[in-house]
Amino acid sequence: MAKKVLITGASGLLGRAVYKEFSSDESWEVLGLAFSRASGNLRKVDITSSEELTKVFDEFKPQIVIHSAAERKPDAVEKQPEATRRLNIDATKNICELAGRTGAWVLYISTDYVFDGKNPPYNEDASPNPLNKYGVSKREGEVTALEVSKENGVLRVPILYGHVHNLGESAVTCLFEKVMDTKNQCVMNDYERRYPTHCADIAVVIRQLSDQKLKDASSIGGIYHWSGDENMTKYDMAVVMATSLGIPTSHIEADKNPSVGAPRPYNAHLGCERVESLGFGRRTPFKDGIEPVLSPFTGK
Ligand SMILES: NC(=O)c1ccc[n+]([C@@H]2O[C@H](COP(=O)([O-])OP(=O)(O)OC[C@H]3O[C@@H](n4cnc5c(N)ncnc54)[C@H](OP(=O)(O)O)[C@@H]3O)[C@@H](O)[C@H]2O)c1
């Protein structure tokens, strides 16, 4: 009998990769949820509605729930604290309670922004101290998931890239608009340190943790981290993008000042010991991962 996984946010940047990873393995039956972008096999469910969520759990009866849906743009969260609370915290509570009733395991996707970035690297047991409202909301989501059941899981990940429908979908790929525009000088942040990570690598870790959870429930639970291991600023990423696609870099200037908007951690590098000690994980080098993601947008 197939193992059953329910994925929230399956129309999103990470959720799409997670949906693809599970769907490529015949031993899994997959139900992906989406909201404004529901199409194809994805089911439209507003996860802030308990009635809609209850119906999904009653009908599908998942064994594993990958909870990826969230408001994840720090500047949007600053402007909409109530809507963020309903999505990032209240919906998480509801999902975990419904999963608890049916014996399903929840893996809550979280972020390196739960840390203040002053003292990296951060291991799984490091103390969170989020600097902005997005980080606070994701930390509250983590606490909620683990309060409903300490057996649940949390997977923290850093800045993500992967196959995008438009360049604005990822905080990495959005840099490419300016990289391509060689006629105009542009400034790229060269202050905050980041570890860009391919969504497909995160999806592999999520599937590995889920398989292991169903093999040996007591071996999996609590907080995990997964991250690429290349320390880069946005300026560094822009230069790698340009070089790997044969674009000149002389129009790209480095900006040594902290970024503007909601405060961001300087370097929230995630130590990934718990996943590594299981022998799980995959790290695609940034230059190899980013080239096929961007090449459809070069107009060549
Ligand atoms: N992207 C990053 O760089 C990054 C970094 C660290 C952590 N994370 C975490 O990774 C997870 C996934 O992020 P992402 O980048 O994939 O986000 P995303 O691309 O913005 O996708 C968000 C997802 O949430 C869904 N959603 C929003 N409101 C909903 C609602 N009311 N009901 C049901 N679904 C709803 C969206 O569905 P529709 O689009 O169909 O409306 C979409 O599938 C999040 O938990 C985020 O905090 C992301």
Q: How does pLDDT run across 45-56, given as a tens digit for each residue? A: 999 999 999 999
Give SS3 for 144.
helix
With the most atoms of ligand 1 within 8 angstroms of its CB, the residue from 31, 53, 72 to mutate is: 72
Nearest protein Cα to ligand 1, atom 5: 159
Closest by Cα among 160, 275, 283 to 228: 283
Token reading at 157:
């990940």
Atom of ligand 1 minimally distant from the CA of 109 = 45
Question: 179: CA distance to ligand 1 center in Å?
Answer: 26
Please list every protein residue whose CB sits less than 6 Å from any atom of ligand 1.
9, 11-15, 33-38, 45-48, 68-70, 72, 87, 109, 111, 138, 157-160, 171
Reported as a single tens digit per residue, the pLDDT across 43-83 is 999 999 999 999 999 999 999 999 999 999 988 999 999 99
Atom of ligand 1 minimally distant from the CA of 38 = 40
Reported as a single tens digit per residue, the pLDDT across 253-263 is 999 999 888 88
Q: Report pTM.
A: 0.97
Question: 249: CA distance to ligand 1 center in Å?
Answer: 32
Question: 88: CA distance to ligand 1 center in Å?
Answer: 10
Q: What percentage of residues in the chain have a pLDDT greater than 90?
A: 95
Query: What are the Cα distances from residue 231, in Å, to 39, 82, 159, 190, 248?
Result: 36, 34, 12, 12, 22
Atom of ligand 1 minimally distant from the CA of 134 = 47
pLDDT at 180 > cutoff 90: yes
pLDDT at 1: 77
Reported as a single tens digit per residue, the pLDDT across 17-28 is 999 999 999 999
Q: Which residues pair with 267 in a beta bridge?
A: 193
Average pLDDT of the chain to the nearest whole number: 96
Closest by Cα among 200, 263, 197 to 18: 200
Question: 182: CA distance to ligand 1 center in Å?
Answer: 32
Query: What are the Cα distances from residue 204, in Å, to 18, 25, 200, 244, 281?
Result: 8, 11, 6, 25, 7
Query: Residue type at 161?
Result: Y
Q: How far apart are CA 207 and CA 71, in angstroms?
A: 23
Q: How far apart are CA 145 and CA 167, in angstroms?
A: 32
